[in-house]
Chains A and B, each alone.
Chain A
């Protein structure tokens, strides 16, 4: 049984890795907590003996095991942070050199994908606009200018493990590099009104030759 949808982006694997890393450590911690909870629950049931101790848990000596628990969790915590830091920097803070550039603009309730025209530049008169159809070349860094006309939307590409809110009045540039050809869903993850549930686009990842053909077809229209 698959837990995640198929990964089709260059950084999706790293996101999944962080999930499994944390899940693994948490699983060990859970076993410890379950033992700590179940042991007294199972063994100290209605034992009306006088063996109970008057322990108030004051001072470092009495609390040492709890401090150890906190220390172990702290080590685990900083290990996660250490592991995830570079991935975060890679996905969110850096922009690798672009091979293709589109604007993806949310509006109630559709996605406008703006492709650069024959001049290869965005935001010029010859730009081509497609509704809900996002063509992308495979294995290329695609820059997305994420924008919104009206309310907050959110670009969510599950197969790329990518998400970014689209805010009115802002242009947020993020990148994605799809490693597999095929069609993938793109949904809106931020509630945007009555049509929110219907707001979706299709990502069509093509090999570079097919993509060129698609582009020329787009220019003709």
Chain B
């Protein structure tokens, strides 16, 4: 086992091979990306509610700016925040320590995957500063528009003219990011299979480790077509091929299929790790075993398989054969069943439990409630192909996916950060600031996203810079809804500064965490010191119990660490 040495700044943030340090590097990089994505959201929300206003810190928003802002907001939040936070950060921080080992199976590969991730971030940011400006085609990058501002008719003069465009850079960034996540994912997978502590059978693994690995498998399965599609689109832009050009034998629908064949499983890639995080937190804070561990696992695997068969529900009115849409509609509606089972199992864990309303528990309960009630259930509306004819590409869809993604990605990440912060930093986060942060986020997220449902039902289509040209969208009370959404979004974004302050301040000055196991949890990461040394454990743990043995009848105390003899 390695001895713990104090390393300097450069070593810790740039060259360290320790999985915790690499996880922290990912996290800081993602914080940077989220700040950019959040700032973009602030600018275009302000513009939507107050179209003539010079947005503070940005200025007047033109149509071109607006398209660029929404596109990059979507790309950053989906590709860099959601995928990065839940695969790379969660996987790096949690997998080795929760399965009781010292590090990843391939620490150097792990380091390289971070470097490639950083490269993708640099390419993405560089794309904002291209001569023709940032990319403004919607985050789904549908060709022909993503080939150039005028589709295949875009007058490009030279190769440099083609290459130094936001289109090329964004596609390269996505390709590099997926390479990075693939390398990271292989590492997680090998680590989980080969480096588990003695005695930890697969069914004694914490749920979050399972979920991250299933998400990874799903990612690996679905990402191939999109990388191929990205490469073809790069060739279309830079070499002048016509894979998606209908006038040269190509087909723009091809991209939509390749994109959504990845894009829909990606939603579940994003969803599963937070579901695992919620399982940990709900079980610990209910002092009860996770209800139906194997049942949840089976349903997750079923959902993972089903999720590869639903992609065309994004394309009901995109020009696919309407008869095919029926099949996808059926699968889409059916995929609600395994998730209903998982959510019910979490609720069953709460019942007859001994609930502790700690901060992570509040985030977890908020996530379950919002995800189920407004994210999941509106999925039925959209999965029913008939209503999707009307709701497709309206704000209803925007509201739906913010209600599915925000509770899982953001609430889930915050739950995880509030839960594991003391373990990885050795200090406590301030509880008062944490409570304030939770309630502001919870209230103003709803204030932001709920009006979008009503706007969507009123027929407000997406990605429009200025709704004043559409009289029917300016009737009362629609402008008021837009203002409520905007003001809530701004407060939502501002309240994240509370978290940022709390995070940075607590990292340096927070109260020292004296206990190794403040939540009285069972899993292995709580059985070592806070923060864990390089190598995680002084002695490799030997696992005798499952991860959720709370209130075992044969024990006096209400928890039984996995490595207890």
- Which A residues fall within an 8 A CB radius of B? 1-5, 14-15, 18-19, 22-23, 26, 29-30, 33-34, 36-37, 39-41, 44-49, 51-58, 62-63, 65-66, 69-70, 73-74, 77-78, 80-81, 84-85, 87-88, 91-93, 108, 150-152, 154, 156, 158-159, 161-165, 167-170, 172, 185, 187-198, 200
Contacts and interface: CB of A to CB of B under 8 A. Distances in A.
Interface in B315-373: 317-319, 322-323, 325-326, 329-330, 333-334, 336-337, 340-341, 343-345, 347-357, 365, 368-369, 372-373
Contacts of B291: 55-57
B527 to A, nearest CB: 21
B381 A23 contact: yes
Interface residues of B, number: 97
A194 B354 contact: no
B63 A169 contact: no
Contact of A56 (B150, B289, B325, B351): B289
Contacts of A156: 393, 459, 461
A40 B348 CA distance: 9
Interface stretch (B8-16, B98-106, B463-471): B463-471
Closest 7 CB pairs of A and B: A169-B246, A158-B459, A57-B292, A57-B291, A92-B322, A189-B393, A191-B138
A163 B384 contact: no
Given A5-B459, A51-B352, A92-B325, A70 B137 contact: no
Contacts of A74: 334, 337
Nearest to A31: B373
A26 B386 contact: no
B458 A154 contact: no
B144 A191 contact: no
Contacts of A26: 377-378, 380-381
B292 A196 contact: no
14 contacts: A5-B458, A15-B390, A22-B384, A33-B347, A40-B350, A46-B356, A55-B352, A69-B344, A70-B344, A150-B153, A151-B142, A151-B151, A168-B247, A189-B392
A37 B347 contact: yes
Interface of B: 63-64, 66-67, 136-138, 142, 144-145, 149-153, 246-247, 251-253, 287-295, 317-319, 322-323, 325-326, 329-330, 333-334, 336-337, 340-341, 343-345, 347-357, 365, 368-369, 372-373, 377-378, 380-381, 384-387, 389-390, 392-394, 454, 457-459, 461-466, 469-472, 477, 548, 550-553, 558
Contact of B355 (A41, A158, A189, A192): A41
A80 B333 contact: yes
Nearest to B316: A92
B393 A163 contact: yes
B336 A193 contact: no
A30 B294 CA distance: 26
B458 A4 contact: yes
* A46, A58, A189 — most chain B CB neighbours (10 Å): A189
A84 B384 CA distance: 7
A4 B392 contact: no
Given A69-B341, A84-B387, A161-B389, 8 more contacts: A14-B386, A22-B384, A34-B369, A40-B355, A52-B353, A55-B291, A77-B333, A192-B145
A3 B325 CA distance: 27
Given A93-B322, A93-B323, A191-B137, A88 B340 contact: no
A165 B389 CA distance: 10
A73 B340 contact: yes
B394 A193 contact: no
Contact of B472 (A36, A152, A185, A190): A185
A91 B463 CA distance: 26
A88 B345 contact: no
A70 B340 contact: yes
B557 to A, nearest CB: 11
A97 B298 CA distance: 50
B487 to A, nearest CB: 21
Contacts of B368: 37
B380 A77 contact: yes
B355 A29 contact: no
Given A73-B336, A194-B63, A152 B459 contact: no
Given A15-B387, A48-B354, A88-B385, A197 B462 contact: no
B288 A81 contact: no
A46 B317 contact: no
B386 A54 contact: no
Contact of A168 (B252, B390, B457, B471): B252
A163 B396 CA distance: 14
Contacts of B66: 197
Contacts of B63: 194-198
Contacts of A80: 333, 380, 384
A56 B386 contact: no
B464 A197 contact: yes
B341 A66 contact: yes
